[in-house]
Chain A
Amino acid sequence: MDAILLIDFGSTYTKLTAVDIENEEIIATAKDLTTVESDIMIGFNNAYKKLEEKMKGLNVNFVDKLACSSAAGGLKMIAIGLVPELTAEAAKRAALGAGARILGVYSYELSRTEMKEILDKKPDIILLAGGTDGGNKDCIIHNAKLIAEHIKDIPVVVAGNKNARDEIEDIFKANDVFYKATENVMPRLNTINVEPAREVIREIFMAKIVEAKGMKNAENFISGILMPTPAAVLKAAQALADGSDKEEGIGELVIIDIGGATTDVHSIASGEPTKPGVTLRGLQEPYAKRTVEGDLGMRVSSASLWEAAGTRRIKKFIPDTKYDIEERCKYLQQNVNVIPQTQEEIEFDEALGMTATEIAMERHVGQIESVYTPMGIIYSQVGKDLLNVKYLIGTGGVLVHSPHPERILKAGTFDTENPNFLKPINPQVLIDRTYILSAMGLLAQKYPDKAVRIMKKYLVKA
């Protein structure tokens, strides 16, 4: 039968998913450790053998092989803008949506010290923004000059004031800086435009980063490493919500990915105020928005999760635990390979998952702020209103292995005790049991109708 092989070169595991394109079914999945230090294909072949084992006697013929990757540290980026709350924030959001890990966000004119700091962080790509179209040019040109002086081998995406573009291109050409220029991330005040920058970042990722990370070998066998893994998840989310040409989507949704090191939240929703009389303030939000919480995770980041949440907040989810919360969190950070076995260990992990979900959602969603006036209270909203979002979808080990995934995800829903956070009130909870989201994002790139139908079939009610 004709099939498509979808590959996720993850930071820890290389995961394979074989899809029967005719019947739109998942034939088999397999994984093995990622081997990026030696040769990325060793781990791939190990996983592939397991996959073949599972497909024995099926006579599968792969007509297409598509991959995404977060191996070798993922796509590491620096975002630069002018005002922290405006173009610097817009640049950060564009980079996050492109699936990047943000190493730093810089604003105003860079100093030489900051330039050195940027170099020390070893980014894969720098995103340079600043100024609305027709707005401030001095800052972005200053920063372009400084970059040209100090950096030769890091690709730069220029997505700032269009009126500064010619001058920046001249500077970069004269200094042999590899760059690509695209539309401004904030063409008008408070209006964001992240898609063009995201696409250019993806192109550079395919053209340069894959090779720089020693993954060129893989491209002999597969059709291409198309995007960073988080970008694939966001792509899947968008396809599932909006649908494709032939297949209807399921509507506005939120995806929570609770990992060992980070908790990612993706929302596909307009986020307009749902309550009358609320004034929307601040920078416009992307329709497809991704946030990454680097301090909230189940293992590598369990100690920082405890620091962010505090003992009481975690304890709220496991009042009777025998563990000392702080100690256990620190222990898990030191022993990242712990797989919970006993009831108590499982419950502790669930509580960490709930805490991560609760805080990550608080940071992702918009907030209502009340302003007291002689007239009484008036309300303003900053960020996305996700109260009426229909679906909350969970992915990641702790959810897949827990007997109560819906309980974990419910920690991310509206809480009457903290009504200012505009979290979904009563969403339908779905679980990505077969771990197909990144694979479906890849599939959606080429076969959107099929990707939407398969996701509808395989995401299960919790």
Chain B
Amino acid sequence: MKNKLVLGVIGADCHAVGNKILYHAFTEAGFQVENIGVLSSQEDFINAAIETNADAIIVSSLYGHGEIDCRGLREKCDEAGLKGILLYAGGNLVVGKQEWSDVEKRFLDMGFNRAYPPGTSPQTTINDLKKDLGW
């Protein structure tokens, strides 16, 4: 059975191009991707993951409010019975140039398994997914 991912762009963020690219990259890499697209709330991600029995949630944020939009997602996943589901985030997670290791730490503290700096190639994430899912 293929591993299932829920992919989307969180919050009031309408940057649609990267989302399409990620969808194709992950699909080609052999994942079944449920793409919920732009303007997706935390609840949209969680509901999609419940119905599809997903193994991972991949959150994009491009417009700079990623940190606020992602806060509490892990707790809500726990609440919804999605114990231990993988949570990844990437894109332009914060505004401007900030020290990446600080940003990464903040996302890991929020309960994300991995967070990626701007310009990360989809292939990096694919390799990590395979590792984390035990391929």
Contact = CB atoms under 8 A, between A and B. Distances in A.
Interface of A: 82-83, 85-87, 130-132, 134-137, 186, 188-190, 279, 281, 371-374, 378, 380
Most central of A131, A186, A188, A281 by chain B CB within 10 Å: A281
Nearest to A163: B1
Nearest to A373: B12
B76 to A, nearest CB: 13
B39 A131 contact: no
Contacts of A83: 47, 50-51
B52 A134 contact: yes
Contacts of B71: none
A189 B36 contact: yes
A135 B37 contact: no
Closest 6 A/B residue pairs (Cβ): A135-B52, A136-B53, A189-B34, A371-B12, A83-B47, A135-B53
Given A82-B51, A131-B52, A371-B12, 10 more contacts: A86-B51, A87-B51, A136-B50, A136-B51, A189-B6, A189-B48, A279-B14, A279-B37, A371-B39, A378-B14
A377 to B, nearest CB: 10
Contacts of A281: 37, 39
A190 B52 CA distance: 11
Given A190-B36, A373-B14, A378-B12, A134 B51 contact: no
Contacts of A82: 50-51
B51 A132 contact: yes
A279 B12 contact: no
B58 interface: no
B47 A86 contact: yes
Contacts of A132: 34, 51-52
Most central of B1, B12, B50 by chain A CB within 10 Å: B50
B122 to A, nearest CB: 21
A281 B50 CA distance: 18
A2 to B, nearest CB: 52
B4 interface: yes
Interface of B: 1-2, 4, 6, 12, 14, 32, 34, 36-39, 47-48, 50-54, 63
Given A188-B34, A373-B63, A380-B39, A131 B51 contact: yes
Contacts of A137: 53
A188 B32 CA distance: 11
7 contacts: A82-B51, A86-B48, A132-B52, A134-B4, A189-B36, A189-B52, A279-B39
B80 to A, nearest CB: 9
Contacts of B39: 279, 281, 371, 378, 380
Given A134-B1, A279-B37, A186 B12 contact: no
A131 B12 contact: no
Contacts of A87: 51
Given A371-B12, A373-B63, A136 B36 contact: no
B109 to A, nearest CB: 27
A162 to B, nearest CB: 13
Most central of B2, B32, B52, B54 by chain A CB within 10 Å: B52
A131 B4 CA distance: 13
Given A86-B51, A189-B51, A279 B38 contact: yes
Contacts of B37: 279, 281
Nearest to B80: A83
Nearest to A372: B12
Most central of A131, A190, A374 by chain B CB within 10 Å: A190
Contacts of A371: 12, 14, 39
Contacts of B50: 82-83, 136
A370 to B, nearest CB: 10
